[in-house]
Amino acid sequence: MTDGEEGWKGRSILVTGSSRGIGRAVALELAGRGAHVILHHRANPGAAEGVARAVRELGGTADVVSGDLSDLTEIPSVAREVLRRAPRLSGLVNNAGMYEEASLSKLTPRDWERTISLNLAAPVFLLKALAPRLARQKGAAVVNVSSILGLRSAPGAYAYQASKAAVIHVTRALALELAPRIRVNAIAPGFIRTDMNQDAWTHRSFSRQVIRETPLGRWGEPEDIAAMVRVLLSPDSRFVTGETWLVDGGKGLR
């Protein structure tokens, strides 16, 4: 096994949407292993700086960059700032995303376009901007965050489901194009207790239903996802690419 601190020293990894939730947990997990993390946020500098402080308390190093990734014209400037702060970038976690619950009757073109842009287009165009630099580093790896709803269907949230399903397919295609220099995998979280879905896990009856339907008997935590992301970025997964890893406590089995 090579996933110890020595395997992370000198590695810089960008985590998008890392001011809270899964992104925050991923950043802290990687920093705790010795990686230098680039924390990205859209409009919450206070929270991002709070994560940076937490990273430093762990003995790690962090830089903060900002930008609205749903606006594809901003991606080149975000990428330039990332590379300025991390010239030896070796990892990317495409975590930033949004969720719209809208039923078909309430779905609007604006909601559809914004969700598809952030959840699907942004990871592709950000990787396009960063790939030449990533390819220079030994062991470069990318993890795209999809969802259980990219693999299992449910009523509503159509733009979200479409974007997360497409992320899985695009991950496979990118893995083919970028091999052997860059590995690209995806992770599909199940029901995770994050700020974004707080209404769901604080709703008593729905929360209990999720627990009943999950073989491991609980909601997931951001740290459960962070641990799997860390494995996929590490040298221990050096022969793994183009795969999507479902981390859902077994809920998808039912």
Interatomic CA distance for residues 191 and 214, integer angstroms: 9
Every domain of the chain and the residues it spans: 5-192+221-253
| Cβ–Cβ under 8 Å, residues 241 and 184 | yes
Please tell me whether residue 37 adopts helix, strand or coil conformation: strand
> Given this model, what pLDDT does residue 1 score?
41
> Given this model, what pLDDT does residue 254 score?
79
> Given this model, what pLDDT does residue 7 score?
76
pTM summary value: 0.95
| Cβ–Cβ under 8 Å, residues 40 and 14 | yes
User: β-strand 36-41 against 140-145: which pairing, if any?
Assistant: unpaired
Q: Which CATH number fits domain 5-192+221-253: 3.40.50.970, 1.10.3720.10, 3.50.50.60, 3.40.50.720?
A: 3.40.50.720
Residues with a catalytic annotation lie at 160
Cα four-point dihedral sign 38, 186, 226, 117: positive
pLDDT in tens, the chain (254 residues): 456 666 798 899 999 999 999 999 999 999 999 999 999 999 999 999 999 999 999 999 999 999 999 999 999 999 999 999 999 999 999 999 999 888 999 999 999 999 999 999 999 999 999 999 999 999 999 999 999 999 999 999 999 999 999 999 999 999 999 999 999 999 999 999 988 887 878 888 999 999 999 999 999 999 999 999 999 999 999 999 999 999 999 998 87
Q: Please state, as a whole number, how many other Cβ atoms lie within 10 Å of the Cβ of residue 4.
A: 12
Provide the token pair at 228.
Answer: 């799997």
Q: Please state, as a whole number, how many other Cβ atoms lie within 10 Å of the Cβ of residue 212.
A: 9
> Given this model, what pLDDT does residue 184 score?
98
Long-range contacts of 131-136 (CB under 8 A, 24+ apart): 131/178, 131/182, 133/83, 133/87, 133/89, 134/89, 134/90, 134/91, 134/92, 134/181, 134/182, 135/178, 135/181, 135/182, 136/88
Indicate the burial class of 40 (C-beta count within 10 angstroms; 0-12, 13-18, 19 or more).
buried
> Given this model, what pLDDT does residue 253 score?
87
- Name the strand (E) or helix (H) holding 90: strand 89-94
